[in-house]
Amino acid sequence: MKPAMETAAEENAEQSQEKKGCFECCIKCLGGVPYASLVATILCFSGVALFCGCGHVALTGTVSILEQHFSTTASDHALLSEVIQLMQYVIYGIASFFFLYGIILLAEGFYTTSAVKELHGEFKTTACGRCISGMFVFLTYVLGVAWLGVFGFSAVPVFMFYNIWSTCEVIKSLQINMTVPGDQICVDIRQYGIIPWNAVPGKACGPILENICNTNEFYMSYHLFIVACAGAGATVIALLIYMMATTYNYAVLKFKSREDCCTKF
């Protein structure tokens, strides 16, 4: 029979080894998490959600402003209404596609980490696996370039609304200083090309323009377009991170047969 003190010491040693083993296991799991892909996925989901949600509501508000103040005849802005409706349907498709694509890229990041190697043992890459990884690299680069265009396009309505808002601020300042009548300052929406030149009235001046700027539709649409533009910019950053992650993962898969390396991207 062992003394009670020796038995207690052995039990404490076994418990400390178990705790140490759990700690080392947690460290290995955390070390194998593809943090870059994880951050890019969160940023991509957030950016796409902001762009799609805010852009959809802002487009609806823009149509309401045009119908009430700049184009009272339905036939003058019929084409614009159809284009905006089509863009809203495209927004639904973009949201669904990037939700699935972000999950796929995140899964690829997990399956090319050292965590998979530690859990499932040595694995060999195949030509099919390298081809799929290369396809993700190419598709991510294409989407990155495309979203640069979307980001630039989303800045256009922000520029238009900013011009209208700044004109309203000028009218307010003139009314305070009593220098020039505000009726002489106008905003002509027809010059932006979104409605035809024969649209009636097509422009707003003085107090009418100031009233437009004070409406809830204008205030909400202006700020929602700003948020949508910021969301598009966040998506561009997320795709840039995806580019680096997928390129690195592809390089690891390509040279894995020659070097025993693993990726944490």
**Whole-angstrom distance, CA of residue 38 vs CA of residue 25:** 20
Residue 97's alpha-carbon distances to 1, 54, 143, in angstroms, are 69, 18, 11
Read off the pLDDT band of 125 (50, 70, 90). Answer: low
Residue 50 has pLDDT above 90, yes or no: yes
Lowest mean pLDDT among 99-103, 115-119, 172-176, 213-217: 115-119
Read off the pLDDT band of 32 (50, 70, 90). Answer: low
- Convert 120-167 into a string of H (helix), E (strand) and C (coil): HCCCCCCHHHHHHHHHHHHHHHHHHHHHHHHHHHHHHHHHHHHHHHHH
**Whole-angstrom distance, CA of residue 242 vs CA of residue 254:** 18
pLDDT in tens, 133-167: 788 888 999 999 999 999 999 999 999 999 999 98
Q: Taking the C-alpha atoms of 57, 59, 60 and 63 in order, what is their torsion angle to the nearest 10 degrees?
A: 160
Residue 255 has pLDDT above 80, yes or no: no
SS3 187: strand
Bigger pLDDT: 256 or 6? 256
Read off the pLDDT band of 105 (50, 70, 90). Answer: confident
| Size of the chain in residues | 265
**Whole-angstrom distance, CA of residue 112 vs CA of residue 32:** 9
Residue 124 has pLDDT above 70, yes or no: no
What is the average per-residue pLDDT within 51-69? 90
What is the average per-residue pLDDT within 185-194? 86
**Whole-angstrom distance, CA of residue 194 vs CA of residue 78:** 11
- Global confidence as pTM: 0.79
pLDDT for the residue numbered 4: 47
pLDDT for the residue numbered 16: 52
Contact (CB, 8 A) for 90 and 153:
no
**Whole-angstrom distance, CA of residue 195 vs CA of residue 88:** 19
pLDDT for the residue numbered 246: 82
